[in-house]
Structure formats: C-alpha cells, structure tokens
Structure 1
Amino acid sequence: MAEREHPRITGVHALSALGRGADALLAGVLAGTPAFAPVRRFDTTGRRVAVAATLPEVGTLADELADAVDAACRAAGLDRAGRAESALFLATHGGPRSLPAPGAASESDGGAEVPALAGHLARRCGLGGRTRVYTTACVSASTAVADAATLIGRGDLDRVVVAAGYLVEPDQYALFDAGRAFAADGAVRPFSAGRQGLLLGDGIAAVVLESAAAARRRGASAVATVAGWGRAGDAYHPCQPDPRGRGLARAVGSALRRAGLPAGAVGYVNANATGTSYSDASEAAALRVALGDLAGRIPVSSTKSVHGHALEASGLLELVVTVLALTHGKLPVNAGWLAPDESCPLDVITHAPRPATSPYALTLNAAFGGANTALLIGAP
C-alpha cells in the first residue's frame, strides 16, 4: 500500500489509572511509575493478590466509553455531519445490565449484550454509520483497528471510530486470581528475570481512523498513520502461545509486508508482554523470527508494566501510547525491571525513556486461543 493511502488517525483519547486524557497517559508511561495499588472498587477478601491499576473516580462503562468517543471526535475536529458519516467499531468485555433512554442516567455495569451497548453509544454520540462489536479477548481492540484499516483502505468506509473499554471488575479479577496469573509481588516485570505474572488495569480508549481523502476533504491533520497490520493464529494451546512464537511472528511479517517496509524501518516495539514467564519468552522468540538479528537492537517495552492489562481494551490503549510516543519522540519505559533474562534477549528500555529514532513502531497483542495481532504505526 502506498504511503498516501495509509489510513489516518486524526483523533485519540484514553483513560487509565494514570489519569484522564492523552496527556496523562503519555506523562505516566514516560515517568514509568506503576499505577498499581490496593483494590478499593470491590471486596478482594480471600484473594491471593489484591492490587490492580484502577482510577479512583470512574463512571459506568457506558458513560466512560461515550465520553471517550466524544473526546476523540472533538480531537479529530468532527462536526455533526462528520459524525453522522462515521462507523463505530467497539471492543469490550461487557456492558450495562440495561441501557438508559436518551438523556437518562446510566445504570450499573454488568453483562448485557455488547451489540446493545454499541448501538447505544452510536446513537448517544451521533455516529450514523454501521456498528461492529469485538469480544475476542485481548486482541479485540487491535482486531477492530485492523478491520477498520482494511475497510478504509479498500474504499468500503471513509471513517471509523474505534472504541474499547475495560474497567477492572470482580468476575475477571477472580478468574485470573484463581488461575494464579497475577504477580504475587504486586509488580509487572515484562521480559525481566524474576517476573511473576500480570496485573489488571482500567483502560478506556477511542481513536478516529479515516481515509487520506476524507481527512483532506475536511482539512483534518493526522496524528499518525496505520501503515500496516497483520493477524495470525497459533493453534497451539488454549491458554499458552507457541513457545517458538510462530503465530505472532507471522502477524508481524504480514504488517511489514502490507506496509512495504523492511524490518529495519521499525524503531520501537510496544510489546504485548504481560510479565508472565511463558508468554514473554514466546514473544521474544517471535521478534527474533520476525526481525532477525535486529530483534536485539530495536528498543522494546511493555507499558502494561505501568497501566496494567486492560484485557479487551489493551490493544487500543497501547495503540494510543504508541501514537503518542511517536508524536512526541519519546519511547516509554519498561517498568519493574530487575535483571536480564536469557530467554528474552531484547533491547528493553529501562530506567528512562529513549528518543525515537524512526517514524515507525509496532504495537503487538496476543490472546488466549492463540490469536495474535500486529499494528505498524507511522508518524504523520
């Protein structure tokens, strides 16, 4: 795909335990100070681990998603007519038990049909295009972005608002805790020796993607481009990735081929790395397969070490991080680092941010069931 045809990102917004808005997210990941703290949102009595990265004051999932979509549309300069021509792709774990009538207050979050939530958000935010929903675990949001980029690239759609949300709640928390997936020491240490597991975190994000032609027609400036994207499956194990990383490596290779770029063009990898022993080693192996000898020289970090794992929303939250890193020319820290692990021979960013030296970065995600995604983001 030629550069002029790359889908544009014209607006972004995010919420995490680091705060509200893109500025708070960027400042938090560059500071590298983890946001994990004791959970106050629900009772964790009897749980093995009792910490997560949660924002103290949050509304319902529906309200926070609506605010994020509105903020991203404003950042993109979309007026009412522009919104009416925009599709909505939503990635989330669940929604309110019931949805309010227009103008009424939202009710508490629970497990309603996600399509109902997508329709509610589209009406509430004035988005008149088609809606799609994604509930494919931790690649939900990145898959939505890849689909949006595909449909925009072939001319089926001019503009898509991709939104994603997860607010730490007791059900998923209990499942991960019972499965001993959480880091017992209360710290996420991607690619590091002594890593013990993941920790959950709040994540709400929205981005506006549109064709270059649509952006030009309304005089919109791009904050980034989606230069390439790739998806692949491991079919290896219900919960564990292929130890040789072959599925994720294929996704990375596909993203590079679609962009028409060599591995050497990549200047940063925002890794999926969750801080678990098995999956981090598998991801390091995937990068060695996909990037060859360059894998040990391209800067890598996982910002889950700061804001936590936002499950279905992770891909979009980390996409926003990657866009901001390229825009501001600073690469985020991989927090929690103790010492190198021989199974992860990568150039991990520790101690302080580094300057960006390339206009291209990869952001990677993986999910149970062997699903893998790679998004190649370019500076505008």
Structure 2
Amino acid sequence: MPELPAPAGRPVAVTALDAVTACGRGTAALAGAVFDGTAGFVPVDRFDVSARRTKVAAQLPGDPDLAAELAAVVAGATAAAGLEGELLAGTPLFFAGTHDRAAARPDGADRTDLRAGALAARLAAATGLSGALRAYTTACVAASTAVADAAALISAGRLERAVVAAGYFLEADRFTLFDSARSLASDGRLRPFSAGRQGMLLGDAAVAVVLEAESAAADRGREPLARIAGWGRAGDAYHVSQPHPEGVGLARAVATALRRAGLTAEDLDYVNAHGSGTTASDTAESAGLHRALGAETAARVPVSSTKSVHGHTLEASGLVELAVSVLALTQGRLPVNGGGYEPDPDCPLTVVDRPRSAPLRHVLTLNAAFGGANTALVVSR
C-alpha cells in the first residue's frame, strides 16, 4: 500500500465538553447510558400527543428552557477547558440549532430576535464569548458542519480555539411533522440497522465542545481529550428527503475525512453511525460504508448508532455523537446499538448489540440530512 501523506495543518484538539440529554446532565450520564445501551425514551408530556401515532421521545422532565441549558453547558465546557478572562472573551462561538420554537408565532418585527443567529448572539453574550460567531441551521448535519468549519480554521492557523455549541429540545411542530410523515417509530423503539425497524424517535440535547490548536492547549498545560484528525463533507442532491440508495455522498465524505486524517479504512476501530432507524436511511448508510471502506472492512469494523439511546436530536446530533465518540476513545468502550437488534441482510454490518470494551485509536462519526448532505469526522486518541 502506498504511503499516505502526512496531514497538513495544525493538529486540532478537543479539550473539554459538556452535555445535557435525556440520559441526564453531564457527560458521565451520557456515557453510562450509551455504553450500557439504556434508552432514554419516555411518554411525551410536554405537549398533547393523543392524536399522534408515536407517543414517546427521549425527553428531559418538564419544559426546560433551551437557551438556559445551552448557557449552562457552554459555561461547563469553558470552565473545564480553563478558559476565563481575555482568553474566554477572545473565543468565538459556532452555534448549531434552529430558531426559538416561538419564532413562527409573532409578527414580523418580533420574529427576527427569535431566529438562530439571534439565539447564538445571546448565548455568546451570556457566557462571555467573543461576539464573532457563526450559526448553522442545516438540520441533522448542522453541528458536524460547525465542527468541521471550526477545525479547518484552527488547523489553518486562523483561530487558536473555538466553542461549538448545539441544541434541540422536543417541540410540537416538528414532532407532528415527523409523525405525520410516518418517520417516527410507532412501536416506541429506535432500532438502527435492525430488521423490522419502524423509524426514528426524537430527543432533547444541549451540548458544548471546546476545540483548540493542540499547540495552544499545550502552552496552557491542557491535556487533550482527543483529536479531530479529519473531516469531510459531500452532497449528492439525490432527493429532497431520501438518501442516495448507494450512499454515494456519504462515501465521498468518509473518503475525504480519512484522506485529511492521513488514515486508511483499515485504521478505523469503530463507526458511530448516523443510524436514524428509518428503512431507507440505514440501508443507504450501510451501502455507503461498504463503498467507502471496502466490503471486508465495512463488515468487520464495529458499528452502532447512539440515537437508539439518546434519540435523534436533529441540529444537535453531530455534537452529541462527537461527544460520545470522545468518551468511547477515552474510556475504551463501544457504545451499544439499543432497541433490540435483529440482523438485516440489507445492512451487512457488525453491529454492537451488547456492552463491550475495546482499545480504540480512531473513530469515524457520521451524519446525514435531507437534501443529500453528508458529513464525516475522524476522531483520534
């Protein structure tokens, strides 16, 4: 095999993270759930679902405030990274999310203040971050795109560090939309890559991750949790809502991420899949992995989707799953594909269906969105 070129640019480190999900507050609660396969789905009581086919989601108790929870996880992550004073004030925010759920209600003049950019600006101000920021609203690839952009700027020397934050909390509008489209699992189980799977289930999440140049972290005496070794993005524009059945765009994103990381498919120890639990998406993702990694490696490398535990958190998905990938690397454990797994011949993968430990060096985490958008991140120890 020809020698791969060394990755260009400065190494990008993950130096801190914090999260709140239906699994609980903090990364320890998230780790405990995903490594044991303990799903957080409960009956929805935040709004009326009596007329809906599906009546469960991975929901936090009560009606928590997204802006407040985002501020809490950003504060938690920046404190864990040791960012304060001028260092904190000079750090930009990359935010992945959507408008405030009240944005569709008021008339024109009030609506602007509720959109994603305004929410990001308020979050930066509340947590002491720089006013320089970006907001991403590209659905299920929003957070992973934000990570890729932040990593690219840090690697190129244009930033020393950045905070990436993302959030989605269950609300009636999109729950109703997905339920009406019969995309939600009516049996109340999210079973990615499993025979008989019925669809996805939504979940709550607010997550924050601190990324910085590895050299900058070393200068501050900070030990990285992991490295963002590679990133790739690709669109196939196959259909407005259906994935390309052969996973063409996903495969291109994976190839780009591996090339940027200076790795081959054989170097991967685990794939944290997009794994939404819908028939078409899981089959296409499986095909894309075989195309990108080769049949032998795709059939060998352990694969799971932690959406089966914490739910599909839409714009926050990429950041929740990046956090899970970092936790897997640091703890040497494989996240479990929950919901009850039955092999599907259309998804010929080695699915992690029980708790397992493994020495992990390189993890691939994937996300896909409507319109044929695909992202891949390689996270290394």
- Shorter-chain-normalised TM-score: which range? over 0.9
Alignment equivalent of 2:276, drawn from 271, 274, 277 = 274
Alignment correspondent of 1:191: 193
Residue in 2 that maps onto 1:236: 238
1:233-282, CA deviations, whole angstroms, 9 ceiling, x for partnerless residues? 01100001100001000000000000011111110000001111111000
Q: Unaligned stretches of 5+ in structure 1?
A: 99-108
C-alpha distance 96-36 of structure 1, shift in aligned 2 (>3 A): closer
Amino acid at match of 1:305: S
Aligned partner letter, 1:26: A
Give the deviation of 1:360 after TM superposition: 0.5
- DSSP-derived class of the 1:196 partner: coil
Pick the aligned partner of 2:92 from 87, 93, 113: 87
**Partner in structure 1 of residue 108 of structure 2:** none
Aligned to 1:104: none
Amino acid at match of 1:331: L
Q: Is this contact kept in 2: 1:228–1:377, CA < 8 A? A: yes
Runs of 4 or more consecutive aligned structure 1 residues displaced over 3 Å after TM superposition: 1-4
Are the equivalent residues in 1 in contact too, given 2:9–2:156 (CA < 8 A)?
Answer: no
Shift of 1:59: 2.9
The alpha carbon displacement at 1:96 in A equals 6.7
Cross-structure match for 1:26: 31
What SS is found at the alignment partner of 1:314?
helix
Specify the code of the residue in structure 1 equivalent to 2:152.
T
CA distance in structure 1 between the aligned counterparts of 2:268 and 2:89, rounded to whole angstroms: 36
Q: Distance in 2 between matches of 1:338 and 1:269?
A: 17
Q: Is the 8 A contact 1:229 1:258 kept in 2?
A: yes
Q: Tell me, yes or no, if the aligned pair for 2:125 and 2:131 is still in contact at 8 Å.
A: no
* 1:65 alignment counterpart: 70
User: Does residue 333 in structure 1 map to residue 336 in structure 2?
Assistant: yes
Q: For 1:5, what is the secondary structure of its paired residue?
A: coil
Q: Could you tell me which amino acid in structure 1 is paired with residue 229 of structure 2?
A: A
SS in 2 for 1:323: helix
Q: Which residue of 2 aligns with 1:313?
A: 316
Give me the TM-score of the superposition, normalised by structure 1.
0.94
- Give the direction of change, closer, same or farther, for the CA distance of 1:111–1:16 in structure 2 (3 Å limit): farther
Which of 203, 210, 222 matches 1:201? 203
Shift of 1:93: 1.8
Say yes or no: does 1:297 pair with 2:294: no
Residues 124-175 of structure 1: per-residue CA shift (max 9 Å, x gap): 1111251000000100000000000000010111111000000000011000
1:210 to 194, 209, 212: 212
- 1:354 deviates by 2.0
What is the match of residue 253 of structure 2? 251
SS of residue paired to 2:165? strand
- Per the TM alignment, residue 232 of structure 1 is displaced from its structure 2 partner at its CA by 0.2
Secondary structure of the equivalent of 2:269? strand
CA–CA distance in 1 between the matches of 2:80 and 2:284? 37
Equivalent residues, number: 368
**Corresponding residue for 1:168?**
170
Question: 2 CA distance for matches of 1:220 and 1:244?
Answer: 42
What is the deviation of 1:78? 1.2
Shift of 1:4: 8.6
Residue segments in structure 2 that go unaligned for 5+ positions in a row: 1-5, 104-110
Amino acid at match of 1:329: G
CA contact (8 A) 2:168 2:316 kept: yes
Q: 1:13 aligns with which of 8, 15, 18?
A: 18
Residues 363 and 379, structure 2, Cα contact 8 Å, conserved in 1: yes
Cα deviation code 1:8-28 (max 9, x no counterpart)? 000001111000000000001
Distance in 2 between residues matched to 1:192 and 1:97, nearest whole Å: 36
Q: Helix, strand or coil for the counterpart of 1:335?
A: coil
Task: Specify the SS of the correspondent of 2:34.
Answer: helix
- Are the equivalent residues in 2 in contact too, given 1:189–1:337 (CA < 8 A)? yes
Query: Partners in 1 of 2:175 and 2:112 — Cα distance?
Result: 14
Q: Which position in structure 1 is the counterpart of 2:3?
A: none
CA contact (8 A) 2:121 2:131 kept: no
Amino acid at match of 2:361: P
- For residues 356 and 307 of structure 1, what CA distance do their matches in structure 2 show? 22
Amino acid in the other structure paired with 1:145: V
Tell me which amino acid in the other structure corresponds to 1:75: A
Percentage of identical aligned residues: 56
Of 230-239 and 356-365, deviating more is: 356-365
